[in-house]
Amino acid sequence: MTFSMKAALGAACAFACMPIAAQADDDNEAGGGADALDHAPIGVMGDHRHGEGEWMVSYRLMHMDMGGVQIGTDAVSPDTVVTTVPNRFFGNPGQPPTLRIVPTSMRMDMHMVGVMYGLSDDITLMAMGNYVAKEMDHVTYQGGMGTTELGNFRTAPDGFGDTKVGALIGLVDDVHLNLGVSIPTGSIEETGEALTPMGMTVPVRLPYPMQLGSGTWDLEPGITWRGQSDTWGWGAQARATIRLGENSADYSLGDRFMATAWLAYSLDQSVAISGRIEAETVGAVDGIDAQIAGPVQTANPDFHGGERVSAIAGVNFAVPRGPLSGWRLGVEAGMPLVQDLNGPQMPTDYTLTIGLQKAF
C-alpha cells in the first residue's frame, strides 16, 4: 500500500467519527441538510445532479491492485507463459519465438479532481482531471528458451491522465442521461527501462496498459436511474467509452461498456452502507504502436480487454449540519467475482476508492 493510500485511510477513519459527534449535539433535529443516501456509492461517476446554481468540488483516489497471469478464466504460471505463448514479434531481429518477460504485479493510483455545476435543475455540468501513477513488476527469463529466471525489473510512469467534460441531462426526477467527452491530455509516449532476456537494460516505450491516456477523443454516453426512501437508496447505471478514430501512434484502446446496480441502507442520516455489482466488457487494442514491441504479453494488442463482474462494498458519510455541513466522504472496496480475459493478461485483485465531496 502506498503512502497516499495510508494517508487517505487515516482521513477516512478520522472522518468516520465526526457524524457521531454531530448527531450527539442535535439528536432531535429532523430533516434539513445533506443525507448520506443522496449520493450513489463513491465509485459511481455522474450519479447525481445539482440544483440550479449549486457547485460541488470533489477529490477521489482510486487504487487498483493486480497480480498473476490469466488466460480466459484460468490462472497460468509465468513458466507456462514463457514456454508456450508465441511472441508475435518473432522473426524481427533479436526476438525469441515465445514470450520471455512476464509481468507479475501492478498497482495504480488515480487521483481525480472534479467540479460539478447545476446549470439548471435539469442540467448539471461536470469536468474532471486526473493524475495517474502506475507501477509494474516483471520477471525476465534467460535467453530464448527454458525456465531459468534472469532477473526482475519495474517500470513506474506517472503524470496527468485524460480530462473528462460532460453534462447530466435530467429526463425525469429519477433518470438522467450522462453525456461525456474524454479529451486526450494523458501521455501515450511514456518510456521505461526493461531487462532483456540477453541481460541488457534498454530504454523502451512502455506497453499499452502503462501509458497514461488513450490518445483518442472518446465519447462517454450513459444513463443513470436513482431512487431512495427514508432508509433505502438504490440505482443503476449503464455507460460506454467509445474511441473516436486512432491516436497518433496508430491504435485505439478497446471500447468499454459498463453496467452497475446498487442498494444502500441508511444507518443514520449521516451514514449509509452500500452493496454494488458491476459488469464490464472491454475490447482488445485495435491497431498497433510500431514503437511497442518485445517478448511480453502487454506489448501484444490482442492481449487486452475481456469481461469482468465485480462485487463492491461501500460506505457514505455526509455531514448534515454544523461547521462541516455539506462535506461528504465515501469509501468503496471491490473484488472481481469473475474475470474472463483476452490473455495472457494480469487479473485484478482488488480496487479501493476514497472520495471527498463538498457542495456549496
> Which residues bind to Cu ion, rule: CB under 5 A?
56, 116
Residue of minimal Cβ distance to Cu ion:
56
The closest alpha carbon to 196, from 263, 91, 99, 64, belongs to 99
Q: Which residues, in sequence order, are CB contacts of 28 under 8 Å at separation 6+?
A: none
Nearer to Cu ion, 56 or 210 (CB): 56
Instruction: Please state the closest distance from residue 79 (CB atom) to Cu ion, in A.
Output: 49
φ/ψ of residue 46, rounded to 5: 65, 40
Instruction: Please state the closest distance from residue 13 (CB atom) to Cu ion, in A.
Output: 24
Instruction: Please state the closest distance from residue 118 (CB atom) to Cu ion, in A.
Output: 9
DSSP H/E element including 141: strand 123-141
Q: Which residues, in sequence order, are CB contacts of 269 under 8 Å at separation 6+?
A: 33, 35, 36, 318, 320
Instruction: Please state the closest distance from residue 116 (CB atom) to Cu ion, in A.
Output: 4
Residues written for the chain:
360
Nearer to Cu ion, 42 or 56 (CB): 56
Nearer to Cu ion, 69 or 264 (CB): 264
**Centroid of chain to Cα 303:** 19
- Opening angle at CA 235, ends 44 and 261, nearest 5: 70
Instruction: Please state the closest distance from residue 276 (CB atom) to Cu ion, in A.
Output: 18
Q: Quickly tell me which residue has 485483485 as its cell.
A: 349
Q: For residues 155 and 206, is the Cβ–Cβ distance under 8 A?
A: yes
Instruction: Please state the closest distance from residue 155 (CB atom) to Cu ion, in A.
Output: 35
C-alpha cell at 207: 506497453
Nearer to Cu ion, 130 or 140 (CB): 130
Nearer to Cu ion, 36 or 116 (CB): 116
CA 61, 243, 337, 156 torsion: positive or negative? negative
The closest alpha carbon to 348, from 44, 32, 69, 52, belongs to 69
Nearer to Cu ion, 114 or 209 (CB): 114
Nearer to Cu ion, 209 or 355 (CB): 355
Per-position DSSP letters for 309-320, written without gaps between them: EEEEEEEEEE--
C-alpha cell at 105: 504485479
Instruction: Please state the closest distance from residue 5 (CB atom) to Cu ion, in A.
Output: 24
Instruction: Please state the closest distance from residue 271 (CB atom) to Cu ion, in A.
Output: 19
Nearer to Cu ion, 59 or 350 (CB): 59
What is the rounded distance in angstroms from the CA atom of residue 17 to the CA atom of residue 140?
48
φ/ψ of residue 18, rounded to 5: -65, -40
Q: Which residues, in sequence order, are CB contacts of 153 under 8 Å at separation 6+?
A: 137, 138, 140, 193, 194, 195, 201
Nearer to Cu ion, 56 or 99 (CB): 56
Q: How many CB atoms lie within 10 A of CB 199?
A: 11
Nearer to Cu ion, 37 or 56 (CB): 56
Instruction: Please state the closest distance from residue 359 (CB atom) to Cu ion, in A.
Output: 6
Instruction: Please state the closest distance from residue 31 (CB atom) to Cu ion, in A.
Output: 21
